[in-house]
Structures are given as structure tokens and as C-alpha cells.
Amino acid sequence: MTDTNIDTYEIEIERFADQGRCVGHLDGRVVFVRFALPGERVRIVLDEPHERDDRFWTGEVVEVLHASPLRVDPAWPLAGPVAWDGGVGGADLVHVSLDGQLEWKKAVIEDQMSRLGGVDVDVDVLRVRGDEESKGLGWRTRIEMVADDNGFASMRRRGSHTRVALDSMPLATKALAAIAEKTNVWKGGFEPGAKIRLAVPEPAEGQGAGENFALSVDGTLRAGSERLIETVAGAGRNGHSQDYDIEESGFWQVHRAAPQTLVAEVLRAVDRYGDGAPKVVWDLYSGSGLFTVALGNHFDREGRGLFSVEGAPHAVHSARMNLTADGLERAVTKHGDVSRTLRSVPPRYSRPDIVVLDPPRAGAKKNVCLQVSRAKTPLVIYVACDPTSLARDTKTLLGEGYEIVHIQAYDIYPMTHHVETVAVFRRA
């Protein structure tokens, strides 16, 4: 519980903000408050240090004096406020109803696009199939933890060095929970400070994971397989499922249904807004080839017009394996920084009909957006995991003569402030 010697302050909460916080004012200064909701009156504790003349302060709820109708009891109390014996992180909207989470994410996307992107949008945030039934839990196919001083899997309590031992992970899928039990993840025995990672691809309905999982400790495989098979509905030829072979430590969307959801959205955008079958497609920040393979299966059965760029070498290796295994061996997959690689694109691929961008949280940034524009690209499909970065890159693309013709968001991170947005830009 909260130290009674710590100063607390009453504050009125005004509106949603990004990063899982809401805005209030204290003594004329903006305060970003965790675990609050608009319209509430709450008691908060300020983060240290807060005596400086900063532009804003940050703080956290310790007591709710007047609650919003969007507020619920935290579904995972350990992820709630520190004052309520929580603080482990990983679910910063755990105090918000599922509908309230969609409302929050919609507000943040629209606000960022208006303020930073210079464009007003009306975006729907859709819930992924199955998440309402599971009440926003049970969706993560990958979890990462650290062993505490006693060797138990744990997460750090915010604002301290305290490690909180875990005996479950409510956000994990049923398959991952079963493997965690099978491999004794919750029973301890790890070296203190060891980094623990468990990855379990979602198995076919009615089946278990078998050996298609990986438990690694400090980067060394402890149990399972070094390579994992991820099956994505709709990414194969004629709309069938497609298997992807990836390294166990490699990046993959963590929501059990995110890959198929995003592939379907990208392919719909290409069909609806593209000018027939494209001759050249760029897939930038292509990872293990999720979109590259799906686009090849949709349009280009040999991969003649596919050009992808990815910075992580293990992901490039996986992408090449997946393309070759699917008969798309003529696709060109480059390893390197995206902007530098685009300075020397082979002439055959220098004029793309479609560019798919799926950058990390920092966004594609101005140089890459300008390079896409200078390639005379008619259609750009931007898959964004951060509304702020999307908004900044939107401003660049609008300045280059593009217009937004479609925008759709998906809540593939329930209980967290994160949201995935797909924006489609067409040269005006």
C-alpha cells in the first residue's frame, strides 16, 4: 500500500492522452496520470522528482474519489496501481472496460493525427475475434520475464527495484499457459537475474502446441524448438492458410490472431485501392516475410516483382526461407537499413506500384517517406504500431501530395495502450 508519509493531491481528470495516461492540471501545470479516466476526481501521488520546473509532471492514482462509468475492477490486479499492490506493468488499461479501451484508443489516434499529422480522421477501432469472449485476456503468444533473487519468474514493480514473483500470466493464451505449466516456468529454479522468454505459436483448434514452442533463458534454448511454425489464415494461395518458419527469438506479432487480421486488412486495401495487379511491390521493414509472402501468393506466384527490406539478419534469413519454400524464390530480399538500401534499388524495382510500410515503434521517419514519394509510388499502405509516429509520417506524406483514402485500427493489444492502425495513402 502507499506510504502514508508520501504527499498526495486531489485532481480532476480532463481527457485521454497517449501512453496509457490521462491529463489533469495541478497548480497550473499539466499532469499525466496513470490509471485515471476522463471525468474522474482522483487522489494521486506524483512521480519523483517533481520539484523541478518541468513543463509537466507525471503521477499515478492512489484513490478514486469519483469514478468514470468506464472504470472496472482491474482484471489483473498485479498490473494495477502500485498503491493497490500492483505495479508490474504490461497492462496499463487494466482498469478500463473493453468498450472504454476502444474509445480511448480511437481518441488518441484521432488526436495525434490532427495535432501532428495535420488531418482530421474518423477511425474505427475493431476488436479482434475472440477477445470479447475472453474479456481482453488470453491473447499473448509470447511473454518475457526476469528471475528474481529466489529464482522465480518475475516482473519489476514500477518505481522500485522490487521483483514480483508470478504464478501465472493472465494475458497469455491457453496454449502458452499449458506450456508454462509443462516446462515448470512458475516453479522457479532459474539463476537470479536470468531473462526468461516463452514463445508458443497458436495451435490449430482442438490441438496442443506439441514441440512447436520455445523456452529460452538468457538467449539459450531450454526446451522446445529453435525454429517455430506460425500458421496464418488467408496468407496462402487462393486464400488458404500459410505456414511461416521463424526463429524462436525473432519478432512476430504477439496477439494470437494479429497476423491474419493484418494480412487480411492489407490485402483488402490492395484490392480496393490498387490499380489492378501490381508489377512491383515494396515491403519495407518486412520482418520474416509476413506481408511479402502473402502479397506474392495474392498477386505474383513467382515473386518476380517483390522487393523487401529488413534490418534484422535473422528475420531476413527466415523471410528468404519462407519465400523459397512457397515458390517465390525470385523475390529480392535485402538486409540493411531501409533508407540506405533505398538509395540503390535495382532498376527493375525502382518504380513500385504499391509500398507496404510496417516500421517499428519509431516509425518510418521523414527520409523513408520522401524516398517512397520520389519513387512515384501511387499507393502506400502503412501498418503502424504507434499513433504518434504514424501522425508524423502522415504529415510528410500529405506534404508530398498523398491523401488518406482509408484508415482502420485494430485492438490487438487489449488491456494496454498500444493499438495497430492501417492507413492507406494514395497520390492525389
User: What are the tens digits of pLDDT across the range 58-72?
Assistant: 999 999 999 999 999
CA distance linking residue 131 with residue 126, whole number of Å: 11
- Residue 49 reports pLDDT greater than 80: no
With CA atoms as reference, report the closest residue to 418 among 101, 138, 147: 101
The backbone torsions φ and ψ at residue 351, rounded to the nearest 5 degrees and listed phi first, read -125, 80
Question: Half-sphere exposure of 128 toward its Cβ, with a 13 Å CA cutoff?
Answer: 27
Residue 280 near residue 305, CB atoms below 8 Å: yes
Q: Which residue has the cell 540503390?
A: 344
Pairing of strands 142-147, 153-156: antiparallel
The 10s digit of each residue's pLDDT in 113-133 is 999 999 999 999 999 999 999
CA distance linking residue 83 with residue 42, whole number of Å: 13
| Single-letter amino acid code for the residue at 90 | G
- When pLDDT is cut at 50, 70 and 90, the band that residue 3 belongs to is low
Identify the structural domains of the chain with CATH numbers, from first to last: 9-71 (2.40.50.140), 102-132+255-427 (3.40.50.150), 142-247 (no CATH)
Residue 71 near residue 40, CB atoms below 8 Å: yes
CA distance linking residue 287 with residue 252, whole number of Å: 8
Q: Cα Rg for the chain, rounded, in angstroms?
A: 23
Any idea how long the chain is?
A: 428
Residue 232 CB partners (closer than 8 Å, separation 6+): 241, 242, 243, 244, 259, 260, 263, 290, 294
Mean pLDDT of 137-166: 96
Q: How far is CA 150 from the centre of its chain?
A: 32
The 10s digit of each residue's pLDDT in 285-299 is 999 999 999 999 999
CA distance linking residue 137 with residue 116, whole number of Å: 32
Residue 242 near residue 259, CB atoms below 8 Å: no
Q: Which sign, positive or negative, has the C-alpha torsion 69, 73, 76, 81?
A: positive
- pTM for the predicted model, two decimal places: 0.95
DSSP state of 141: S
What does the DSSP assignment read for 65-94? Answer: EE--TTB---SSGGGS-GGGT----S-TTT
CB-count exposure of residue 374 (10 Å: 0-12, 13-18, 19+)? exposed
- C-alpha cell of residue 17: 492522452
| Single-letter amino acid code for the residue at 95 | H
Residue 27 CB neighbour total at 10 angstroms: 7
As a whole-number percent, the residues of the chain with pLDDT over 70 amount to 98
Residue 271 CB neighbour total at 10 angstroms: 12
Known active-site residue 385: yes
- C-alpha cell of residue 289: 516475410
- When pLDDT is cut at 50, 70 and 90, the band that residue 5 belongs to is low
- Of these residues, 385, 412, 415, 424, which one is catalytic? 385
pLDDT value of residue 332:
97
